Amino acid sequence: MVYIDCEQLQAVCAQHGVFSLPVVQVFFMGQKFIEEIQGFSLLALGQKIEQVFMKMKR
């Protein structure tokens, strides 16, 4: 897991299409699978991550 401070690393955030906060982007093997912007549920985010893991195990 990586946290990027968009105040300090604006160019990195822009490269990933992050222009407003908060944003959570979830990557697996270099590919973005999930993106949640502004108002989102951490519980729902956890469930989405679990679904991706389950699909990848198959």
Q: Answer yes or no: pTM beyond 0.75.
A: yes
Whether 29 shows a pLDDT value over 90: the answer reads no
Exposure string of 1-28, with b = 16+ CB inside 10 Å and e = fewer, is eeeeebeeeeeebeeeebeeeebebeee
Residue 3 maps to a domain: no
Question: Six-digit token pair at 12?
Answer: 């990195």
The whole domain housing 37 covers 10-57
Mean pLDDT of 10-32: 94
**In total, how many domains does the chain have?**
1
Residue 2 maps to a domain: no
pLDDT at 57: 86
Mean pLDDT of 31-56: 94
By the 8 A CB rule, do 52 and 34 touch? Answer: yes
